[in-house]
Structure 1
Amino acid sequence: MTTDPESAPEPLRTAGPPRDRQTVPNVVGVHLHLEHEGRILLGLRHPDSPFAPLHHHFLAGHCEQESAVACLIREAREEAGLEIAAKDVELAHVVHVVDRAGTQPRLQLVFRARRWQGEPRLLEPDKCLGWDWWPPDALPEPMVPYARAAIAGIGAGRLYTELGWS
């Protein structure tokens, strides 16, 4: 059987960027949305931090060849001495953010821990100046914008927010 090339169907096209663009992987960050007596735990980042110096932010980290929940549990122990069991963790919000055109996109997973052991302690003073509990309607300034967006999303019952995408 022969096929006339002029009558052949067009190839399927998929949604997404044009094929001549370079693939840019997303960085995956995990964040702890911890609430106690109606207040949210936030840390003040160190002034020498390469990201958001002197801004308030969640306890957070990047996945390092581990699951997101395992990363969250590790970061909570390393940064603040908190012990969290995987069974007590639930996904609360996702923020897909790009800081500005041409920068690497980031997928920020915000988890809530229903239970934990310990009181937040300052264990990495080179990264964080201190931990404090803040009411969601009186969050500190300055604050990492996507953390503020996640708290607003959680308060409104939304699971997903995009920031910086045009």
Structure 2
Amino acid sequence: MNRADTHRTPVPGAPAGPPTLVIGVHLVLVEDGRVLLGRRRNTSYAENHWHTPAGHMEPNESVLRSMAREAEEELGITIAEDDLVLLHALHHLDADDGRSRLQLFFRPAHYQGQVANREPDKCHELRWWPLDDALPDDTVPYTVHALAKIAAGRAVSAVGWPA
């Protein structure tokens, strides 16, 4: 056993063995000091909360391809994979299901098309919110955390983990 192993704090209910991560991709679109958020609906997570356009990486898909695909599916915009810039990596321990998630937040250097709500069955509405004011109280908490870290220039953070 190495020294690092003796200082680990076990997470209650966590499975033994190597970690299995769920990878989430999030698009941070900022225009004129405002960030695009969508109000979620008909979802199993954060119903009626505001959140960045987001999704999960699918099998046999890179994170860049995943983010470009989600932008097309949810917003109808086209982003070249080479135009995606990683802003923040958030290692999130989900209190609801105890799963370890790596949430990656990207901004596009360029995109083509007009932003539109292409999934009205999953997103009630899209709205631009000023970044210099408080985001709505019903914004997904880890989204608020990540946007604050991005504004502070922090590339990586973690939430939900025992101290």
TM-score by length of 1: 0.85
| Structure (1 or 2) with the larger CA radius of gyration | 1
In the TM superposition, residue 23 of structure 1 has moved relative to its aligned partner by 3.7
Identify the residue that residue 57 of structure 2 maps to in structure 1.
63
Q: Is residue 53–residue 71 contact of structure 2 (8 Å, CA) maintained in 1?
A: yes
Cα contact 1:120–1:131 (8 A) shared by 2? no
User: 1:130 maps to which residue?
Assistant: 125
Q: Flag as ranges the 4+ runs of structure 1 deviating above 6 A.
A: none
Partners of 1:83 and 1:116 within 8 A in 2: yes
Matched residue, 1:109: 104
Which SS does the other structure have where 2:147 is aligned? helix
Q: Which digits, 9 at most, give the CA deviation of each residue in 1:7-53, with x for residues without a partner? A: xxxxx5373568x924441100000011111111110001x310100
Counterpart-to-counterpart distance in 1, 2:109 and 2:129: 17
C-alpha separation between the residues in 2 aligned to 1:44 and 1:119? Answer: 19
Distance 2:83 2:111 in 1: 8
CA distance, structure 2, for counterparts of residue 59 and residue 27 of structure 1: 17
TM-score normalised according to structure 2 size: 0.86
Question: What runs of 5+ residues in structure 1 fail to find an aligned partner?
Answer: 1-11
**Partner Cα distance (1:39, 1:119) in 2:** 16
Asked if 1:143 corresponds to 2:139, the answer is yes
Structure 1 pair 101/31, CA: closer, same or farther in 2 (3 Å)? closer
**Residue ranges of structure 2 left out of the alignment (5+ in a row):** none
- The answer to whether the aligner puts 1:156 opposite 2:145 as a matched pair is no
Structure 2 CA distance, aligned partners of 1:110 and 1:26? 16
Q: How does 1:29-68 map to 2 (within 5 A)?
A: 29-46=24-41, 48-64=42-58, 65-68=60-63
